[in-house]
Amino acid sequence: MADGRRPPAKRTPARGRPPARKVGASSSGRTSPKSKRSTTSRARPAGEHAKPRVNTRIARRNHDVAREAGRRRLWIVTSLLAVPALIVSVFLILHSSLFSISGVTVHGAKETQQAAVISAAGLSHHPPLIDVNPVAVALKVEGLPWIETATVVRHWPKRVTITVTERTPIAQALITKSRWELFDTQGRALGDRSHPTPGLIDIARVLSMPSPGVTAGGDLEAEVALCDALPVSMIPSVTQIGVTKHDGLVLDIAAKTTVIFGTREQLRDKVVALATLLANHVGLTGVATVDLRVPSSPILSS
């Protein structure tokens, strides 16, 4: 060249390797349709994302899980509805005639009629056995004059057994010319008889006589307390117990001796003193009165 520079060397392609092509250009120098589409495609708006492709297995699994959850909810709802329905059904069956009391057996009642025991227990109208409360029924039966204790047992499906223990009378008081009221050791009135009962201590008639099933009070309570304090060996010799205005509690012995006890204080000590006198004086023959108001110093008068 005129300026003395060497012309640039012409690059020859390497042997066996085609000349490099421009990206997106075809062999003829034109832009490929694929490249053209990519360059002319519209831009996505801001915030818009392409929807991810869902795997078929995952979709099927999600569907199965949702269906299983639905079945579980249905089972829970059904159970919640079935439990109250079952309870109501059992309640109605137990209160139906299928489980109503058909028989009541009473043991131990001698002075009290079995019909009276069943009536007091509230079982005459054959209630459902499920409604029978043994403790409550026993308390009702024990309210009868002669009944001291009662035990109630239910026998499914339709029977009840009532076992009672009756009270033992210790004294009797004349109500009218032909009626005698009986009392136990606690002073409870048991009922009347048309004739005196042998072996019971006679109590002097009082103005206020309690009704059967009621515990005595006042002078009558003191008289029954003295009957209870007497030893069994002394009872046959006692003819009557009473209360006087001046001497208080008194006791008459078959030998026509009156024993003065006064008040209920030291009653047991007074009875022991009387038993000692009876043993030493052979039934207190010839003694008119014995004053035991001071049990340690008895006074005998003929």
Q: Give yes or no: residues 80 and 178 share one domain.
A: no
Q: What count of Cα atoms within 13 Å lies in the side-chain half-sphere of residue 223?
A: 31
Q: Is residue 11 part of a domain?
A: no
- What predicted TM-score, i.e. pTM, was given to this entire model? 0.66
Q: Give yes or no: residues 263 and 248 share one domain.
A: yes
Range of the domain at 122: 98-166
Q: What per-residue confidence (pLDDT) applies to 57?
A: 79
Q: Give yes or no: residues 77 and 151 share one domain.
A: no
Q: Which of 114, 135, 166 is the last residue of a domain?
A: 166
Burial 54-85 (b: 16+ CB within 10 A, else e): eeeeeeeeeeeeeeeeeeeeeeeeeeeeeeee
In this predicted model, which residue has the larger pLDDT, 110 or 51?
Answer: 110
| Residue-wise pLDDT tens digits, 159-182 | 999 999 999 999 999 888 888 999
Q: Give yes or no: residues 125 and 243 share one domain.
A: no
Residue 218 has pLDDT above 50, yes or no: yes
Q: Give yes or no: residues 158 and 131 share one domain.
A: yes
| Residue-wise pLDDT tens digits, 254-266 | 768 999 999 989 9
| Residue-wise pLDDT tens digits, 68-96 | 888 888 888 887 877 887 787 777 777 67
Q: Give yes or no: residues 161 and 173 share one domain.
A: no
Strand 159-166 to 103-107 pairing: parallel
| Residue-wise pLDDT tens digits, 125-135 | 899 998 899 99
CATH of the domain at 256: 3.40.50.10960
Mean pLDDT of 194-223: 87
Mean pLDDT of 28-51: 52
Q: What per-residue confidence (pLDDT) applies to 85?
A: 76
Q: What per-residue confidence (pLDDT) applies to 46?
A: 56
Q: Is residue 293 part of a domain?
A: yes
Residue 224 has pLDDT above 60, yes or no: yes
Residue 190 has pLDDT above 50, yes or no: yes
Q: Which of 166, 186, 204 is the last residue of a domain?
A: 166
Q: Name the average pLDDT for the chain.
A: 82
| Residue-wise pLDDT tens digits, 267-279 | 999 999 999 888 8
In this predicted model, which residue has the larger pLDDT, 203 or 19?
Answer: 203
Q: What per-residue confidence (pLDDT) applies to 24?
A: 47
CATH of the domain at 158: 3.10.20.310
